[in-house]
Amino acid sequence: MKLSVIGTGYVGLVSGTCFAEMGNTVYCVDTDEKKIESLKKGKIPIYEPGLDAMVIDNVKNGGLNFTVDIKEALEKTSIIFIAVGTPMGEDGSADLKYVLQVAESIGTYMKHELIVVNKSTVPVGTADLVKTTIQAKLDERKSNLQFYIVSNPEFLKEGAAIEDCMKPDRVIVGTDNVKALEKMKELYAPFTVNHERFVAMDIRSAEMTKYAANAMLATKISFMNEMANICEKLGADINSVRVGIGSDKRIGYSFIYPGCGYGGSCFPKDVQALIKTAKDNEYEPKLISAVEEVNNNQKKVLVEKIIKRFGEDLSNKTFAVWGLAFKPGTDDMRDAPSITIIKELIKRKAKVIAHDPKAAEQAKTYYLKDLENLDYVESKYDAVNNADALILVTEWKEFRSPDFDELKTRLKENIIFDGRNQYNSQKLKELGFEYYQIGSA
Ligand code: NAD
């Protein structure tokens, strides 16, 4: 099939590449000329394991094309995926300006019948908005061209995006058009050969499914963080409690790790957007509002422990921070807990030396740009040189089994604040560390 993906970010680039990998001809479109130029040269602007090789292969065999010209893409293809960003607006709602820009371009330039598929995460009702926006442009042109709207939310996880795209747990497709539904089934068939994973529904339910999934996952995290905070007060250990409850099949082990809060490009903004949508429709969403509040507080829990240990004034203190990305396996720092933690430390006049295997460039260029008293180093051990304490924020694999003797020779004081409960408390105490984690005394 011939299809276009508009928006070449984490979702657009990965899904476009996976569609090409299955033998389709794909045009990936982006307004960011630099991004498109570097992609044409085989330079991948994001870190996603396995993506480089797949992009290069599919560009070579002609299956994957990059362009800034949406007109060209609309002319050459008949299925158009919208995968642009839907960042948080000032009032917490999802900002739809990029989605609607694309809809206007489609209505202005389309030359034949199209299936328009929305992959961006958008509030319930956005499909109607996209439809009326395209139709308004067609009416201006006095055109009778037909188009069909589909909602196909994306569930990939950064860091495992290729695997998620090639072998999705489920493919959610919302549409009221039989022809469009058949085309989508055909397009996704190679991804679901093992067993049926295609779930068809109405458009509004498909849009809502994405928000419900992210709100549920965020709820699991905030729930565990609340349990962790209660454990600390009571002298219980959340690590034991986690294993104890996870063994119940109704609960399960996934997504019940305590930590220093969730971040990323999805959970914070999607939870906020769902709260806003609910309120706009005269429903007070008490549970998910609390999920968000718990998370905002959780991002400060490590800083509170540090203040309790060192006092409010952190001048003359140096902290090594391991991990900047919002989770391992990605360079994405959107809403990462590291941002809150580092800013809170620097606000109290501390010096911070940070190390992340992939995200340092993002930090320097955008998220922690121009912050004084913040340096970056290439090696995790160099970060701890003469530091008053090590703070572990992102659980990259390379932090799981460090050489603790090496840490002891480099740290000024043998103190570790662990925001992801990576180490065994007893063992660290025996090694002579003062060790703080989440939800355990
Ligand atoms: P992103 O910011 O990485 O990429 C968006 C891209 O769209 C950018 O390259 C931008 O230049 C481009 N763009 C903006 N306006 C455009 C236009 N008019 N024409 C062409 N290109 C345009 O965003 P992302 O992380 O890929 O997310 C995209 C959507 O998918 C969001 O709605 C997000 O919530 C959702 N989503 C993201 C993830 C994830 O893990 N990142 C997972 C599932 C769903």
Q: State whether residue 91 is helix, strand or coil.
A: coil
**DSSP code string of 351-378:** EEEEE-SS-HHHIIIIITTT-TTEEE-S
Residues lining ligand 1, Cβ inside 6 A: 6-12, 29-32, 35, 83-86, 98, 101-102, 120-121, 154, 156, 158, 265-266
- Ramachandran class of 255: left when φ > 0, alpha when ψ lies in -120 to 50, beta otherwise: left
pLDDT digits (tens, 9 = 90+) for 253-264: 999 999 999 999
CA distance 275 to 283: 9
Return the amino acid letter for 246.
G
CA 183 to ligand 1 centroid distance, Å: 24
Examine the pLDDT at 111 and tell me if it is beyond 80.
yes
Atom of ligand 1 nearest to the CA of 32: 11
CA 260 to ligand 1 centroid distance, Å: 26
Question: pLDDT at position 6, please?
Answer: 98
pLDDT digits (tens, 9 = 90+) for 330-385: 999 999 999 999 999 999 999 999 999 999 999 999 999 989 999 999 999 999 99
DSSP lists the bridge partners of residue 392 as: 322, 418
Return the number of other C-beta atoms located less than 10 Å from residue 298's C-beta. Answer: 25
CA distance 209 to 197: 15
Q: Whose CA is nearest to atom 28 of ligand 1?
A: 85
Which of the following is catalytic: 165, 231, 260, 266? Answer: 266
Atom of ligand 1 nearest to the CA of 158: 40
18 is catalytic: no
Percent of the chain with pLDDT over 90: 98
CA 12 to ligand 1 centroid distance, Å: 7
Question: pLDDT at position 195, please?
Answer: 83
Atom of ligand 1 nearest to the CA of 153: 44
Return the number of other C-beta atoms located less than 10 Å from residue 130's C-beta. Answer: 26
Return the amino acid letter for 110.
M
Contacts of 399 (CB under 8 A, 6+ apart): 322, 323, 380, 392, 422
Residue 196: band (very low, low, confident or very high) from pLDDT cuts 50, 70, 90: confident
Task: Count Cβ atoms within 10 A of the Cβ of residue 429 and give its class: 0-12 exposed, 13-18 middle, 19 or more buried.
Answer: exposed
CA 6 to ligand 1 centroid distance, Å: 9
Sheet bearing 389-392, strands edge to edge: 374-376, 351-355, 318-322, 389-392, 415-418, 434-436
pLDDT digits (tens, 9 = 90+) for 233-243: 999 999 999 99
CA distance 145 to 114: 9
The token pair that represents 83 in the structure block: 């995968």
Planar angle of CA 70, 39, 21, nearest 5 degrees:
85
What does pLDDT average to over the chain? 97
CA distance 421 to 395: 9
Q: Whose CA is nearest to atom 25 of ligand 1?
A: 10
In the chain, the domains with their CATH numbers are: 2-201 (3.40.50.720), 211-296 (1.10.1040.10), 299-436 (3.40.50.720)
Q: State whether residue 9 is helix, strand or coil.
A: coil
CA distance 265 to 198: 25
Atom of ligand 1 nearest to the CA of 10: 26
CA distance 147 to 114: 5
CA distance 108 to 56: 32
- Ramachandran class of 423: left when φ > 0, alpha when ψ lies in -120 to 50, beta otherwise: beta
Q: Whose CA is nearest to atom 41 of ligand 1?
A: 10
Examine the pLDDT at 441 and tell me if it is beyond 80.
no
Q: Whose CA is nearest to atom 22 of ligand 1?
A: 7
CA 8 to ligand 1 centroid distance, Å: 7
For a mutational test of ligand 1's pocket, the pick from 5, 8, 11, i.e. the residue with the most ligand atoms closer than 8 A to its C-beta, is: 11
User: 22 and 188 in contact (C-beta within 8 Å)?
Assistant: no
CA distance 257 to 227: 11
CA 297 to ligand 1 centroid distance, Å: 28
Residue 193: band (very low, low, confident or very high) from pLDDT cuts 50, 70, 90: confident
For a mutational test of ligand 1's pocket, the pick from 108, 162, 265, i.e. the residue with the most ligand atoms closer than 8 A to its C-beta, is: 265
Q: Whose CA is nearest to atom 20 of ligand 1?
A: 30
CA 85 to ligand 1 centroid distance, Å: 3
Q: Which three-class secondary structure string do you get for 45-79?
A: CCCCCCHHHHHHHHHHCCCEEEECCHHHHHHHCCE
Q: Can you say how many angstroms the Cα of residue 321 is from the centroid of all Cα atoms in its chain?
A: 21
